[in-house]
Amino acid sequence: MNALKVTLLIIVILGIAGAVFLANWHIPAPTKIITKVVPNETFVQ
């Protein structure tokens, strides 16, 4: 039972650390404009 508690504690700590990391991670905005032409045949009515 002790090993189960330690394993769950490690999983909880890693989950909290991951959430804090994602909350504080400043992802840069895209700087390149991407233009894609979609043919009309794609939209079948």
pLDDT of residue 30: 85
What span, in angstroms and rounded, lies between the C-alpha atoms of 42 and 45? 10
Range of the domain at 38: 2-42
CA-to-CA distance for 34 and 13, rounded, in angstroms? 39
pLDDT(44) > 80: no
pTM over 0.85: no
Domains of the chain: total: 1
